[in-house]
Amino acid sequence: MNKPLRRIAIFCGVLVLALLVRTNYLQYVRADELSTRDENRRVRIERYAHERGDIIVDGEPVTGSVETKSGDFKYKRVWKDGAMWAPVTGYSSQAFDASQIEKIEDGILTGNDDQLFFNRTMSMFTGEKKQGGNIVTTLSSAAQKAAFKGLGNRKGAVAAIDPQTGAILALVSTPSYDPSVFAGNSDADAKARQKLLNDKDKPMVNRALRETYPPGSTFKVVTAAAALENGLYTDIDAKTDSPLPWRLPQSTQDLDNEGNIPCENASLREALRWSCNTVFGKISDDLGNQKMMDTAGKFGFNQEIFTPVRSNASAYPKDNRPQNAMAGIGQASNRATPLQMAMVAAAIANDGKLMQPYMVDKRKAPNLDTIYTHKKEQFSQPLSGENAQKLQKMMETVVQDGTGKNAQIPGATVGGKTGTAQHGLNNSEKPYAWFISYAKTDKGSPVAVAVVVEDGEANRDDISGGGLAAPIAKAVMKAVIDKR
C-alpha cells in the first residue's frame, strides 16, 4: 500500500474508532443523564405510552390512567380523592414531571425499573402490552379520611404512625390540591398549575413533611425525656427545683406561665399536666444546650427523614442560655415538622424504641408478584424502656385529668400533650394549635399522632391545642383502633 492510501486508511480507522467511543460513551456513560433531561421529550412520551401502575391503599388503587384524545401522550394520570391523597402520592404530569411517591417509584409505576426486567423480557415473547407495577402503601384510608375531614377548611397537617413498625398511617396537609388538574399537557393544565403556585395559602406545600413550626408545649415531653435520661430527675411525682417566678438566665425577664397554675416546684407529672413553662424552661437550662441537642437528635431532630419522600429537618439549635431555655418549651428557634412530633409520640408509646418511618410497604410487578417487601428497622433509642413508661404515665395524666381531655377514647388508653405555639414578631401572629398523642389497647399501641392547626379565622383566645387539635387526633386514633 502506498503512503497516501495508508494515511487515508489510518485516518478512516481513527474516525471509526472515535465514532465507536462516542456511541458507547453516550449509550452507557451518559445514558441516565440524557434519559432524565427535561429536553428529552421521548422519555416523557414513553412514560405515558401505556397505563401507569397504581398506588394502593388498603388493597384499593387511589390512582388510575385514562386515555387522552389527542397529542403525543396516550395516557394521563388521574386520582381518586386527589386532594386527600396528594400529600402521599404527589403528582405525575405530562408537562411538569412528578413528585413524591409518583417520582421516587416512577421506575416501578412505568414498568421500566430493573426489578421488572424479567417481566419485560417475558412480555416480548408473550406479546402482552407493557404495564407498570403497583406500589402498596402503609396508609389507612380510614385514618386519612378522619384527618382530612378533621382539618376541613383550616390550614394544618396530620401525621400518624404505627409506633411498633414505623408504618405511616395518615399524612394530610391542608389546604391541598387535586393533581389531576395539571396532569396533562395543555394550556389549561399549565394555567391550573400556575394558579396553585400563586396561591398565598401554598396548597402544594406538604405541611406534614416540609413545613417546620415552633412545636410549643408539645416539645416539653422531649425536655422531660432529657431530664429523665440524664438523671436530673428520676421520680415523676417528686417535687422539682422550680421556683416561681423563675427568671430567664442572663436576662431581666421572668418566664411566665399561662395563667395562675400550680407550677412552683411542681413534679414532672403535674408540670406536664398543667404545661408549666417555668419547670421545663429551667430543666432545659439546668441540662444545658448540648444535652438538650443530644436528646432531640435521638428523636430525629437536626436531620432529614426519608419515608422514602424527604421530610425537612426539624431543628433544635445550638444556642445561648436564655434561648436554650425557651427552646426547651418549644419556642425560640426550635422548629419541628408534624412527622417529627409524631415520631416523638411514637417513640414514647413504643417503650423508648423509635422505628424508621416508611410509606411504601410493597412493590408489585404487573402480574402482581411481590418484588419488594419493606423490612422494619429501628431508627434510634431516644430513651430507656423504664423512662418511656414514666413518660407514658405523665402523658396519660394529661388526657385523663389535664389539658388533653378532648382526646379521650372509651375503651382505650390515650396519652397526649397539648401545645399552643407563639410565633411572629413579638408573638404578634395567631398561635399554632398542636396536639401529639398515642392510643393503646390490650393489643398494644397501634397509633401515634401529631396534629398542627393554623386557624386564621379563630379568635386568638380560642386557639389551643386541646380545643382545636386534640379532637382531630382523637378521630384519627379512633379510626385506626376501630379498623383493627
What type of residue is 366?
Answer: P
Cell numbers given for 21 = 467511543
Which of 217, 267, 314, 464 is catalytic? The answer is 217
217 is catalytic: yes
Look up cell 400529600; give the residue: 87
Look up cell 434561648; give the residue: 323
Residues 439 and 345 sit within 8 Å (Cβ to Cβ): no
| Strand, coil or helix: 22 | helix
Residues 474 and 407 sit within 8 Å (Cβ to Cβ): yes
What type of residue is 161?
Answer: I
| Residue 464 exposed, middle or buried by CB count within 10 Å (0-12, 13-18, 19+) | buried
Sequence-ordered list of residues with C-beta below 8 angstroms from that of 459, at least 6 positions apart, any chain: none
Sequence-ordered list of residues with C-beta below 8 angstroms from that of 309, at least 6 positions apart, any chain: 90, 100, 101, 104, 206, 209, 359
User: What b-and-e string marks burial along 191-226, b requiring 16 or more CB atoms within 10 Å of the CB?
Assistant: ebbeebeeeeebbbbbbbbbbbbbbbbbbbbbbbbb
Residue 61 half-sphere exposure toward CB, CA atoms < 13 A: 13
User: What b-and-e string marks burial along 316-354, b requiring 16 or more CB atoms within 10 Å of the CB?
Assistant: bbebeebbbbbbbbbbbebbbbbbbbbbbbbbbbbbbbb
Quote the CA–CA distance of 93 and 78 in Å, as a whole number: 10
**Before 245, cis peptide (omega within 30)?**
yes
Quote the CA–CA distance of 96 and 86 in Å, as a whole number: 15
Look up cell 401522550; give the residue: 73
Residue positions annotated with a catalytic role: 217
